[in-house]
Amino acid sequence: MTSNKLALRAPALADVPDIESEWHINITNPRARRRINRDGMLGLGESYEQGDWSAEHLDRALHKALVNGPNGMSPSMWAKLAWILLEQRVFNRQVGKSAFNIGKRHYDLGNDLFRCMLDPSMTYTSGYWADAQTLAEAQEAKLDALCRNLDLKQGQHVLDIGCGWGNFAEHAASKYGVRVTGLTVSEEQAKYARQRCEGLPVEILLKDYRDLEGTFDHIASIEMIEAVGRKNLKAFYRVIDRSLKEGGSCALQVISSDMLSRTSNRRFDQFMIWILRYIFPDGYLPKQRELTPPPDTRLHIKSWQRFSDDYDRTLMAWASNFNEHWDEISDMYDENFRRRWNFYLHGCAAIFRAGLISVSQIVYTKGLCPNASA
């Protein structure tokens, strides 16, 4: 009995001797220790939002917690994890009207928020920093890399699944002369994208990807698959297969990881429970093996490029912009929201820095299997 209890009550984060000096944080309310001890990274995030602790360099503090904290979980955290795993296996929360929840709860928080945080192109995905000096340059390089990977030609029709504020649609239409149909589940994004793309051969639809009809020369989907859901990944690839013309290409930018599983890192799981609760409801990061198209499609992997370090730098640039321009939006959001958003941005930078998560551009072709490269 004793050994079983010890296994269940594995050391939590606050069991690390002197976490204030270990992680360089300043605890201002003793309840923070209790919450961290009980809920690990989840408790760390909740107590930070409440103002119970602070750090001069939040990203470094969270990186230390992710890398050096114990991997055990309390019974209450095991219960939370078990419930999420059950939900993912039993329920499908990304179909019908539920597919629009992520738009309402995240992307519709207000265009002013994202305008203050992002670069002028309103690109809310990782930039490509190989030859870039600024966030705007990194985002343009990423968009152009996607266009080149698709080998876009003037007059072609491109589908953009998860078009955001229309950044890729505007770039591809204006610089490559293609026609673009963009899909989003966010009303705020759709309004903004239609306005910015006025005068270009771009159509923005407020529609679930599964309801789309027609075929396209190429397809782009930039960090949208994370909202598809575990139960819908195969269906997502089948939609791409039926929507892509023979010989066409699909460029997918995707965040992947092993999350909330029997083999995943428990500190990372605790952070992802916080993300699912407060930032991205019903999200799911696919494992790398889940990014292989189902055998009943004619899709094949042509290339796979990873650039995970670039997301750390992108997130830190977003955090810097957010805090620099906070005064412009402070009358719309309270201090709790500011701390929550900072924990989100700096925490995500920390998990990329810790190697617990990756971002890739994958190109698929439809038809005969090409020679794959990785």
Does residue 73 register a pLDDT over 70? no
32-52 average pLDDT score? 92
* Secondary structure string (H, E, C) spanning 140-192: HHHHHHHHHHHCCCCCCEEEEECCCCCHHHHHHHHHHCCEEEEEECCHHHHHH
Question: Can you give the pTM of this predicted structure?
Answer: 0.89
Segment 154-164 shows an average pLDDT of 97
Q: Which residues are catalytic?
A: 348
CATH numbers and ranges of domains, the chain: 2-85 (no CATH), 97-262+281-366 (3.40.50.150)
Q: Closest by alpha carbon to 222, among 160, 173, 294?
A: 160
* Structure confidence by residue, pLDDT tens digits, 85-134: 666 666 655 555 554 555 566 777 889 999 999 999 999 999 999 999 99
Q: Answer yes or no: is pLDDT of 222 > 60.
A: yes
Does the structure show a pLDDT above 80 at 48? yes
Position 82 pLDDT exceeds 80: no
Q: What is the pLDDT of residues 266-289, one digit of tens each?
A: 899 999 999 999 998 888 999 999
| Better-scored residue on pLDDT, 20 or 368 | 20
Flag whether pLDDT at 2 surpasses 70.
Answer: no
